[in-house]
Amino acid sequence: MKRETPAYHVILENAGNGVWTAEIPAFRAVTEGRGEDGARAMAADLIWGYIKGAKMHGFPIPKPDAVVPKLLVKKKTRSTKPSSIHRNHRKATIKPRRKAA
């Protein structure tokens, strides 16, 4: 069984002052975000939230504009090398407190 992801058309537009709008015609919705990446993230969040809510309440979900095959990507393994923060970190020496006389 092939796994597929629905894809919806998103229209991005620079609104000025670093704000971008994202229009999703299939949902008849517009959202905005800081920068192009922010608008894309807001559009993805809007689509995900709309679909989740529609499934919960039994509302129809708009047909996707395209269907994209979902690629199975292996997780990256963590490096065993310590990061530069750990390599450059000096050990702290803790001196015992003197007892009060």
pLDDT > 90: what percent of the chain?
52
**pLDDT on residue 37:** 93
Residue 95 within a domain = no
Rounded-to-integer distance, Cα 7 and Cα 98, Å: 69
Q: Among 7-16, 42-51, 89-98, which stretch is predicted with the lowest mean pLDDT?
A: 89-98
**CATH for 52:** 3.30.160
pLDDT attached to residue 81 = 52
pLDDT digits 0-9 by tens, 10-31: 999 999 899 999 999 999 999 9
Bridging pattern class, strands 66-69 and 4-7: antiparallel
Residue-wise pLDDT tens digits, 61-87: 999 888 777 664 445 555 555 554 444
* Stronger pLDDT, 99 or 55, i.e. the higher one: 55
Number of alpha helices (DSSP H) and beta strands (DSSP E) in the chain = 2, 5
Domain that holds residue 61: 4-74
Residue 78's H or E segment, with its range, is none
Q: How many whole angstroms separate alpha carbon 95 and alpha carbon 4?
A: 61
Q: Is residue 65 part of a domain?
A: yes
The tally of domains found in the chain comes to 1
